[in-house]
Amino acid sequence: MNDKKKCLECGLELMGRVDKKFCSDGCRNAYHNKFDSGSKNLIRNINNRLRRNYKILDSFNLRDGKTRTTKTRLLDKNFDFDYLTNLYTTKKGTTYYFVYDLGYLPLENDYYMIVKRE
Q: Choose between 20 and 51: whose C-beta lies nearer to Zn ion.
A: 20
CB of 41 to Zn ion, least distance (A): 23
Counting beta carbons within 10 angstroms of the beta carbon of residue 31, is it exposed (0 to 12), middle (13 to 18) or buried (19 or more)?
Answer: middle
Rounded Cα gap, residues 33 and 27, in angstroms: 10
Residues of the shown chain interacting with Zn ion in the complex, contacts defined by CB under 5 A: 7, 9-10, 12, 23, 27
- Buried-exposed string 62-80: b where 16+ CB fall within 10 A, e elsewhere: eeeeeeebebeebeeeebe
Alpha-carbon torsion (75, 78, 82, 84), positive or negative? negative
Residue closer to Zn ion by CB (options 27, 84) is 27
Task: For the CB of residue 40, give the shortest distance to Zn ion in the complex, in Å.
Answer: 23
Query: Please, what is the minimum distance in Å from the beta carbon of residue 7 to Zn ion?
Result: 3
**DSSP 8-class letter at 110:** G
State which residue, 14 or 113, has the beta carbon closest to Zn ion: 14
Query: Distance between CA 21 and CA 38 in Å, rounded?
Result: 20
Q: How far is the CB of 39 from Zn ion (least distance, A)?
A: 21
Taking the least distance from each CB to Zn ion, the nearer of 10 and 42 is 10
